[in-house]
């Protein structure tokens, strides 16, 4: 058993007990072994985008090789993380669009039009020729 388990204290105790009792190691168990973290990484100011790095931003060297300062590096790292995370779910959007397109071409009925109306509003697509009650 893996008894060393670190989990957010605000999480449900049932979940903590469940994870603690698993017969295999999870990320919650591995946290303890990763206690010493890089100070640059914790601040988000470690840049490894090119082969000239990693650049570590400090007071005596406020810019990386490319000229990026701490704010630029933090923004780049954040945007890359967001892009990577959202890229994992692009198939959900693709399937939704394909299903909506298929329903439109076959003039099929939609179970609920509220989501379509909300999406049309977000994308600023006018709902021309639609009755007030539906699409």
In a domain, 122, yes or no: no
**Same-domain status, 67 and 95:** yes
**Same-domain status, 21 and 53:** no
Arithmetic mean of pLDDT, 6-27? 73
Distances 108 to 31, 51, 102 between C-alpha atoms, Å: 50, 53, 8
The single residue listed with the structure tokens 């329903």 is: 103
Arithmetic mean of pLDDT, 118-126? 79
Neighbours of 46 (CB within 10 A): 19
Closest CA to 3 of 14, 19, 34, 31: 19
* DSSP symbol at 32: G
**Same-domain status, 49 and 94:** yes
Arithmetic mean of pLDDT, 86-94? 81
Write out the residue range of the structural domain in which residue 94 sits: 39-107
Bridge partners of 55, per DSSP, are 47
Task: Give tens-digit pLDDT for 29-88.
Answer: 777 777 767 777 777 787 777 778 788 888 898 998 889 998 998 888 888 888 888 877
In a domain, 117, yes or no: no
Residue 6 has pLDDT above 60, yes or no: no
Residue 9 has pLDDT above 70, yes or no: no
**Same-domain status, 43 and 32:** no
In the chain the first and final C-alpha atoms are separated, in Å, by 56
**Predicted confidence band at 101 (pLDDT cuts at 50, 70, 90)?**
confident
**Same-domain status, 43 and 5:** no
**Same-domain status, 57 and 99:** yes
**Same-domain status, 65 and 78:** yes
In a domain, 130, yes or no: no
Total number of domains in the chain: 2
Closest CA to 69 of 79, 81, 82, 55: 55
Instruction: Report the C-alpha gap between 81 and 88 in whole angstroms.
Output: 11
């Amino acid at each position: 058993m893996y008894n060393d388990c670190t989990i957010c204290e605000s999480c449900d105790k049932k979940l903590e007990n469940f994870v603690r009792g698993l017969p295999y190691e999870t990320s919650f168990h591995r946290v303890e072994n990763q206690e010493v973290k890089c100070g640059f990484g914790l601040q988000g100011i470690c840049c490894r985008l090119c082969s000239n790095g990693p650049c570590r931003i400090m007071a005596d060297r406020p810019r990386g090789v490319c000229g990026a300062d701490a704010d630029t590096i933090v923004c780049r790292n954040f945007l890359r993380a967001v892009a990577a995370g959202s890229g994992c779910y692009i198939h959900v959007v693709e399937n939704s669009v394909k299903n909506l397109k298929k329903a439109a071409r076959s003039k099929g009925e939609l179970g609920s039009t509220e989501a379509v109306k909300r999406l049309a509003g977000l994308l600023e697509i006018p709902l021309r020729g639609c009755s007030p009650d539906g699409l």
